[in-house]
Amino acid sequence: MLLDVLVLAAGKGTRMRSDLPKVLHCLAGKSLLGHVFSSVQALDNAAINTIVGHGKELIQEAFANQSLNWIDQTSQLGTAHAVLQAIPALRDDAKVLIVYGDVPLIKSSTLEKMLSGVDDDAMALLTVELVDPTGYGRILRNTAGDVTGIIEQKDAAPEQLKITEVNTGVMAMTAADLKTWLPKIDNNNAQQEYYLTDVIGLARAAGRHINTYAPEAVEEVEGVNSRAQLVALERYYQGQIAQNLLASGVTIIDPSRFDCRGELDPGQDVLIDINCIFEGNNRLGNGVVIGPNCVIKDATIGDNVTIKANTVIEGPVTLEDDVQVGPFARLRPNTVLGRGAKVGNFVETKKAKIGPGSKISHLSYIGDAVLGSEVNIGAGTITCNYDGVNKHLTEINDGAFIGSNTSLVAPVTVGKNATVGAGSTISREVPDESLAIARAKQRSLDGWKRPEKK
């Protein structure tokens, strides 16, 4: 059967106290709505419709690169009113799944389970037992255990408030049923809102069975209404990622001090020390060791690479096998370090291809550069790549030795096995196997007397 998904995201999110629409706030580097989309996009044959109101332009802009169907709800008169706006978009022979844009951790496996409980005779409802059910709609059941309705907190009698099984808001039914029931819902309740939860009574009246399902974990159905709830869910989610990595053979020294805000695909026997942050897409080979306080984004890292403390990688960056980086190194986009290369402390690289076995051990800037193999760059070497208008290339060939405190004024080439004397400013080609020295000659004045104090 076809599946029409409705994502409700028109609400304001007042309690976030933010200019950003609530569903665009990020959890693990991805917007709340982005998480929901990922879950529903994994379902078979799903057409996704998102109901938007507050912050609509910003939300649509954030997902401009995806083909999604947006539906306007210009005033927010309740969850049933939100769904009503989507009626024209629903296909008659589809199942409809309703989820909330601010419930980010809902799993597609849970949704699939629910959808299996929808047919012409039944609808499905996701409920959960909460120790503190305050604020949620309570699930009403008869003595036979069948669901008979949902009562909102503000409409509930004292004994109903004691019920701990609550409505998660996630439900599914046939489009035919939803289309029949929705227009019948009124707003005669404490909040004068059109409650989607009223479909339960209508489903009962139509003789439908209400199949209920529970998520694997409560956090799957927790909504984000405040920043406190957002960071609590973030910690839960990070904990899950860390546990999965531990199970896959990665040592994370302290799972409570680990953050993955993207993808991390590790080999075996990887060790990650405390306070590391991974962003974007990262692939780590076997035996990779990452020291504390590293920030790593979009890196492809080979086997047995060591990244020492406080290194920042802003990819795309590729580190081949046996590379060593850091401590305190900064590798910027389009850095490629060949096998066994070494980049040490206070070195910045950008758009730099560095050949196998080459070393830049300390205090250097290497940008717009191509280095061959076994090149040695002395401390304080700078590629002067920018003339104020354009960027130029520095080329240093195999086996070259660049003395400390050298400025390489690009475009410039240093030949194979050439040597540059310390303190040189190199602005012309250095031929293969030669020595270039470009610095003021030293003078010594004999018997020099220091000035005396007057």
Catalytic residues: 362
Residues 6+ away with beta carbon under 8 Å from 356: 320, 338, 339, 340, 341, 373, 374
Q: How far is the CB of 126 from Ca ion (least distance, A)?
A: 14
Q: How far is the CB of 225 from Ca ion (least distance, A)?
A: 6
Residue whose CB is less far from Ca ion, 103 or 337: 103
Within 10 angstroms of residue 45's Cβ, the number of other Cβ atoms is 10
| DSSP secondary structure letters along 90-105 | S-TTEEEEEEETT-TT
Binding site for ligand UD1 (CB under 6 A): 8-11, 51, 73, 76-79, 81-82, 100-102, 136-137, 150, 152, 166-169, 195-197, 223
Question: Which residue from 81, 165, 181 is spatially nearest to 131, judged by alpha carbons?
Answer: 165
The three-state secondary structure class of 350 is: strand
Which of Ca ion, ligand UD1, none does residue 397 bind (CB under 5 to 8 Å by kind)? none
Q: What is the 3-state secondary structure (H, E, C) of 189-238?
A: CCCCCCCHHHHHHHHHHCCCEEEEECCCCHHHHCCCCCHHHHHHHHHHHH
Q: How far is the CB of 215 from ligand UD1 (least distance, A)?
A: 12
Which of ligand UD1, Ca ion, none does residue 73 bind (CB under 5 to 8 Å by kind)? ligand UD1
Residue whose CB is less far from Ca ion, 101 or 223: 223
Residue whose CB is less far from ligand UD1, 137 or 356: 137
The size of the interface with Ca ion (CB under 5 A), counted in residues, is 1
Q: How far is the CB of 221 from Ca ion (least distance, A)?
A: 11
Residue whose CB is less far from ligand UD1, 90 or 166: 166
Place of tokens 């998520």: 215
Which of Ca ion, ligand UD1, none does residue 344 bind (CB under 5 to 8 Å by kind)? none
Residues counted in the chain:
454
Which of Ca ion, ligand UD1, none does residue 172 bind (CB under 5 to 8 Å by kind)? none
> What part of residues 212-251 is at the interface with Ca ion (CB under 5 A)?
223
Measured CA to CA, the distance from residue 182 to residue 72 in angstroms comes to 17
Residue whose CB is less far from ligand UD1, 137 or 302: 137
Measured CA to CA, the distance from residue 24 to residue 13 in angstroms comes to 11
Residues 6+ away with beta carbon under 8 Å from 252: 242, 245, 246, 258, 272
Question: Which residue from 364, 430, 374 is spatially nearest to 399, judged by alpha carbons?
Answer: 374
Q: How far is the CB of 191 from ligand UD1 (least distance, A)?
A: 8
Measured CA to CA, the distance from residue 67 to residue 86 in angstroms comes to 17
Residue whose CB is less far from ligand UD1, 119 or 193: 193
The three-state secondary structure class of 159 is: helix
CA angle 423, 384, 420 (to 5 degrees): 35
DSSP state of 307: E
Residue nearest to Ca ion (CB): 223
Which of Ca ion, ligand UD1, none does residue 150 bind (CB under 5 to 8 Å by kind)? ligand UD1
Q: How far is the CB of 216 from ligand UD1 (least distance, A)?
A: 18
Cβ 439 vs Cβ 421: under 8 Å: yes
Q: How far is the CB of 168 from ligand UD1 (least distance, A)?
A: 6
CA angle 255, 261, 267 (to 5 degrees): 65
Residue whose CB is less far from ligand UD1, 167 or 419: 167
Measured CA to CA, the distance from residue 288 to residue 302 in angstroms comes to 8
Question: What does the binding site for Ca ion look like in residue numbers (CB under 5 A)?
Answer: 223
